[in-house]
Amino acid sequence: MVRALAFASCAAVLVLYALRGGSFDVVPRAELGIAAWWIAGLGWAVGVLPRAHIRRVGWLPFAGLLALAAWTALSLRWTESDERTAAELARVFHHAGFLVLALSLLCRDTWRAAVAGVMCGALIVCALAVASRLWPSAFPADLVGASFGTGRLSYPLNYWNAVAAWGATTATIALSLSAHLAPRAGRCVVLAVAPVAVLCTYLTYSRAGVAGTALGVLLVWAFARHRAVVLVHAGAVALGSAAAIFVVRAHPEIARAEGGAGQAEVLLALAVAAALGAATAGATWRLRLDTRWRLAPRVAHRLVAASAVVAIGVGALTLPPAVPRAVSAFKDRDAAVTTTDPSARLGTLSGQRFNAWSSAVASFRAEPLVGTGAGTFEFWWSREARDAEFVVDAHSLYLETLAELGLPGFLALLLLCGGGLFVALQARRGATTSADAGVATACLAALAVWLFHAGVDWMWESTATVAFALLLIAAASHSLGSPGQTAGPDRAAPPRHPYPSRAAARALVIVLALVGVAVQLPALVGASSLRISQAAARSNDERRALAAARDAGATLPWAASPHVQLALLAETSGDLNTAEREARQAAALEPTNWRHRVLLARVLAQRGDVDAALEAFAAAERLRPLGRLFSS
């Protein structure tokens, strides 16, 4: 019963996070963060949590999150925007609350069920994503695709690269579990549904998704106990997925997100792929390939090492001639794709990444110890941009952290990421059964895939994908305990001197729960008030719009956004004196945000103060010299 509850809870939580737009928006993220901290704090306070003793190594990722939160809070002293940094602090506290709750609820008896639940929830999301392409009228309108003029699959996370990371991570877990689960039916079912995750990744047309999937397969093979089975299963998934992709490519309406014609053929292809996967898993089970073709551990390790050496050697011989061309293509953001085939971009390396990453490196070099403040990379990019592209994030968690929080913030991030990998690696090393080895390998490989995607895109802001990774870390942490080791009056007693001590841990979690709620509540209330004000303004309800904007300002006295809203309302009503005052206040709170200067210039121009308006506009141009507004 407890295992079933762990399975269902993990699956439901992932689906919940994903279906709320990936919980990217501040409102759902704050709601979920407050709920996580409230449950964790109350549970620890009354003694029903944690369900099991959390070993020392399990606290490492949490310590990394706390260090990152502390340095983010400290950056409020020098940040370019208190509002942006406070929002990032709330984000980190959400992640910390989610992790501590997962650590508190799971135990040695439920960690495998939790990982299975994670995979189930992730597959449900992949299936919904593919279904949204086959039956577009049954799902919400793709506003993201319409805004960017692209047919790349972004539902339900509202970002195609996040969906690609989700699909790659899901396929990685499915491959590992299909080669190690004890029941044959479990292996067959898992391998049968894996092509759905691969097709989901393909429909995003994400190069990182392809690379992440390949990395996942490689890592599963390297760390699996049944490597021969992994290879056979990977081949079956590749073959079945290729058939489904071929059918999709034969129906441009689905491939380009222009309609659902051809969904029956795609479903048939997925059914064939599922049958192939199930038959392959059943055959490897019946033929006992996991035991017949299994090498001694020492021989297997040597084989993996030799394979790595051969791969490095082949790469050293074949890659050098291609590297200059690849680097040149990577730097060329304007390389044109002359075909209407959306998958054509998979054959190019051009894009915005080089400029964004080089700008982040330049920002780090300018402020290597403190950075510009959490959440403020957009302002650095605007005034030091390599091109006119509008950029908010550096599209790399690691480089963005260096740019915004300097070396101390990066070290805290390394403690989080490295601690998570270390936990998963220890789980794999400590596995005593094939099933444990498969689940631990799934955690390790999937977490590595997520970390790869975080390095090439803004996965940190896609809260659902972070929750995905944190659940794997929490589950792997509990694989290190002893079976049946749970806390509570009717359970086995924890070690006499656990680390940290039980009393200290309880006090720490309770205090952090209070802080976590206090940090996220203003973000929730303030953002909600601002949206009420904006909605009222669209409905011409001036009084309600003004009252809600003032409420937002009272809730977020450090934020510029309420003053911008008040300035816009005053401008609309013709109260230009108030509009100027509020615009100046917004500019004072965010002195490097060019938008506030443009707003101020517009208000001053309406007042007839041409010289002051030109001065404000010139200040805005200095903060965004390559902006299209100033080049027209």
Q: Helix, strand, or coil here: 210? A: helix
Q: Indicate the average pLDDT of the chain.
A: 90
The pLDDT tens digits for 166-187 are 999 999 999 999 999 988 899 9
Q: What is the CA radius of gyration of the chain?
A: 26
* Burial zone of 316 (CB within 10 Å; 0-12 exposed, 13-18 middle, 19+ buried): exposed
Contacts of 145 (CB under 8 A, 6+ apart): 151, 152, 154, 257
Q: Helix, strand, or coil here: 402? A: helix
User: At residue 538, what are phi and psi to the nearest 5 degrees?
Assistant: -65, -25
Distance CA 367, CA 560 (A): 24
The pLDDT tens digits for 44-66 are 999 999 998 888 888 999 999 99
Which pLDDT belongs to residue 302? 66
pTM for the model? 0.92
From 199, 192, 204, select the one nearest 163 (Cα to Cα).
Answer: 204
Pair 153, 144: CB distance under 8 Å: no
Distance CA 357, CA 451 (A): 17
Pair 596, 590: CB distance under 8 Å: yes
Give the pLDDT band of residue 325 (cuts 50, 70, 90). low
The pLDDT tens digits for 326-354 are 556 556 666 545 566 777 777 777 777 88
The DSSP code sequence of 575-611 is -HHHHHHHHHHHHHHSTT-HHHHHHHHHHHHHHT-HH
Helix axes 82-105, 502-538, angle to 10 degrees: 130
Q: How many CA atoms lie within 13 A of 502 on its CB side?
A: 17
Segments of the chain assigned to CATH 1.25.40.10: 523-631
Pair 92, 27: CB distance under 8 Å: no
The pLDDT tens digits for 452-461 are 999 999 999 9
Give the pLDDT band of residue 303 (cuts 50, 70, 90). low
The pLDDT tens digits for 608-618 are 999 999 999 99
Bigger pLDDT: 415 or 502?
Answer: 415
The pLDDT tens digits for 559-615 are 999 999 999 999 999 999 999 999 999 999 999 999 999 999 999 999 999 999 999
User: 523-631 belongs to which homologous superfamily?
Assistant: Tetratricopeptide repeat domain (1.25.40.10)
Pair 363, 420: CB distance under 8 Å: no
Write the single-letter amino acid at 109.
Answer: D
